[in-house]
Chains A and B, each alone.
Chain A
Amino acid sequence: MKRNSWQDYQKQIADDHYYYARSCIRQNFFPGSERAFIDILTRDLGKDLLDDPKHSSCTGIGYHSDIVPLETIMTVVARQFSLMNEVGYENFVTSCITSFGIYTEILATWQEFPETEERTREYLRKATGREFTKPASLAHTSDIVFHFRDDIAARAKRRLVNAATGEPLRVVEHIGCHYAKIFPKSGIGGSEFPYVLAGMVESWGGECVDYPERRHCCGFGFRNYLVQANRGYSIANSHKKLESMAPYKPDFIVANCPGCAMFLDKWQYTIAEMEGTTYGENGHGIPVLTYEEMAGLVLGYDPWELGMQMHQVDVEPLLDKMGVEYDPAAKYLGRNGKFIGKPDTAAVNCGQSELLYDIKE
């Protein structure tokens, strides 16, 4: 795929000293990914990152559900910046795409309507006695990984290639809507031909798949899912994307949004159960990775340490294809070696169940 427009969309990404704001939902969806980001940055790349326990939710989901008013979320965001100021950092990095969209939107609103920034300062002062300065740079964690993609490639233990054939793996990259669709210039490559994930894939040996519904929403869309009556619409969107990408036989999907990775993964199970349709090889699902998991695999991390056992669609076929060594028996053992439970066998899955060491049995 030609991508000659992405270089028009560049932004400043700090080289070091990051103030890290975690996501509310990723802790549950992909509990290993945020940990992996910290490990990759600090352990592999030797960067300074502060994982501050004082910061709170940005309240983005509440905001997009019309529960949290604009003034409130602006004040919450101002508090996050104040916390960052307190510890002497100025490069704000957020793990969640919704949060990234929120921070981008609020900074742009303050820029465009300075009176809203003044009001926010007053609210924050009244509520907490705090003051704040705006960050020198704002980035999503996928921007940071993109920024260091060549450093990661230089340290790679494995590449995104089929170990048996040497062929590049075929990757569907999916960008969260709030990464660049609201403010195209806030994302690497803009919103139409984003390059943030594609750049990682290409640097690490894979090739991206362009398919007709590439730009389509994953199906999360907040109200599509949060309002139970709308969930049919949510799955219909995921279904449309999966149908569109299937003929290209992707080896895996990678996303930079908590919702996208979650829904493209979990709805595959639902579609398989409802219709008996699966989209991956051998009648199973297409594995869905976060970019931290993708980077972690490239850097030689253990897949279970990355939390990949939490996926709905089993990742073993991809691991085998990449030549990743792993212990099948350790899949459902937590960090402390305790059995964490095992899902029932499903059509979309393909784990070699006879090899699994099931403590319950």
Chain B
Amino acid sequence: MKKAIVIGGGPAGMQTALQLARRGVEPVIVERENALGGKLRNWHRLFPTFTPATDVLAELRRRVDEKGIEVHLSTEVESFTAKSVKLSDGRTMPCDAVVVTTGFTLFDARIKEEYGYGIYDNVVTSTDLERMFNEGRVVKADGSQPRRIAFLHCVGSRDEKVCQQHCSRVCCVTGVKQAIETKQLLPEADVFNFYMDIRMFGPGYEELYREAQQQYGIHFVRGRISEAAATHDGRIRIKAEDTLTGRPLRMSVDLLVLLIGMRANDTNAAFAAGAGLTRAASGFLQPENLFLDSVRSGVEGIFYAGAVTAPKTVGETVNEAIAAADAAAEYLSKN
């Protein structure tokens, strides 16, 4: 039986391995962390249906277990070709094909220094907020309930100053989803979303956006926050421009949530150099063809699935994993 190594054990990696197994290929998952699941492990609910992330994750893990797929956890890949994967501990794993499902890296909000993440305790990221949702409470650093919360979209996305010109796509709807969940937990709180565009591209997203405004009374302000600073009473003072009214705006909030973007992994450069792959200007790996061969790398025997090529939703990632596994299986059947 031909063997394909799947690098990365997130939703893309697990689904790729499952489909490879269905197609009669022996899959091996190599995962850097000590558990399967990737970024999904830290998420509470998924947009637009508020499906618990654990429902998706647990089912994928169950299927991987059921199929008896070989998984190597806490194992880091240093480089690879279509025929072998070199691990950082010096071992080399031979194979017949490789599917790269290493996903993305969350933008480090500290780089946008003007928002004070890591300095002001009540400036948090969307990931931090998911952790709060998982704990069942949204609170300030001192444990008290916030009365006014601001979400800032596009932190580390569409921002030339931090070399992240691409749109991370999912943050807009994540901001809407998180604002609604916040209102559900804290109905008395005022919630504001500061955005430059609202990109509701998926099924049910636009409806969710409307629901956030009409049913939950969430305020959407078209304008970027320029800076955050601490006030005398421990709140966060934000400055922005409401570009619809053309007026500058200053507001004190109890919690500022930064909707951090998806950026390309630092490992992509070394992977690309080692295997002769192409990277897009954004740093994500570049598929052979965006229309007909979006899961092929352009190098024989190396395939892509999920957010390693561009920001994607969980649904898109899982579907793409099937396409990647099919392409890899087809390749292996001929070679």
Contacts and interface: CB of A to CB of B under 8 A. Distances in A.
User: A and B, one complex?
Assistant: yes
B232 A3 contact: no
Nearest to A9: B113
A213 B119 contact: no
A215 B229 CA distance: 9
B114 interface: yes
B229 A5 contact: no
Given A5-B110, A192-B113, A213 B229 contact: yes
Given A193-B113, A212-B237, A3 B119 contact: yes
A190 interface: yes
A3 B232 CA distance: 18
Given A192-B113, A212-B237, A4 B118 contact: yes
Given A5-B113, A192-B113, A192-B114, A211 B119 contact: no
Contact of B232 (A190, A214, A215, A247): A247
A2 B230 CA distance: 11
Interface in B92-120: 110, 113-114, 116, 118-120
A212 B118 contact: no
Nearest to B231: A212
A227 interface: no
A67 interface: no
B211 interface: no
Interface string B213-231: 0000000000000010111
Interface in A177-197: 190-193
Contacts of A222: none
A210 B229 contact: yes
B119 A193 contact: yes
A214 B229 contact: yes
Interface in A24-40: none
Contacts of A215: 114, 227, 229
B119 A212 contact: no
Nearest to B112: A192
B205 to A, nearest CB: 33
B177 to A, nearest CB: 30
Given A2-B119, A5-B118, A211 B232 contact: yes
Contacts of A1: 119, 230
A213 B119 CA distance: 16
A11 B262 CA distance: 30
Nearest to B250: A212
Interface residues of B, number: 13
A248 B231 CA distance: 10
Most chain B CB within 10 A, of A3, A191, A192, A213, is at A192
Nearest to A2: B119
A213 B208 CA distance: 36
A66 to B, nearest CB: 26
Contacts of B110: 4-5
Contacts of B119: 1-5, 193
A346 to B, nearest CB: 28
Contacts of B229: 210-215
Nearest to A210: B230
A335 B210 CA distance: 73
Contacts of A214: 229
A215 B116 CA distance: 12
A250 to B, nearest CB: 12
Contacts of A193: 113, 119
A211 B110 CA distance: 19
Interface in A188-222: 190-193, 210-215
Most chain B CB within 10 A, of A210, A211, A212, A215, is at A212
A186 to B, nearest CB: 15
A211 B237 CA distance: 10
Nearest to A215: B227
Interface of B: 110, 113-114, 116, 118-120, 227, 229-232, 237
30 contacts: A1-B119, A1-B230, A2-B118, A2-B119, A2-B120, A3-B119, A4-B110, A4-B118, A4-B119, A5-B110, A5-B113, A5-B118, A5-B119, A190-B113, A191-B113, A192-B114, A192-B116, A193-B113, A193-B119, A210-B229, A210-B230, A211-B229, A212-B229, A212-B230, A212-B231, A213-B229, A214-B229, A215-B114, A215-B229, A248-B232
Given A212-B231, A247-B232, 12 more contacts: A2-B118, A3-B119, A4-B110, A5-B119, A192-B227, A193-B113, A211-B230, A211-B232, A212-B230, A212-B237, A215-B114, A215-B227
Q: 7 smallest A-B Cβ distances: which pairs?
A: A192-B113, A212-B237, A212-B229, A2-B119, A247-B232, A192-B114, A210-B230
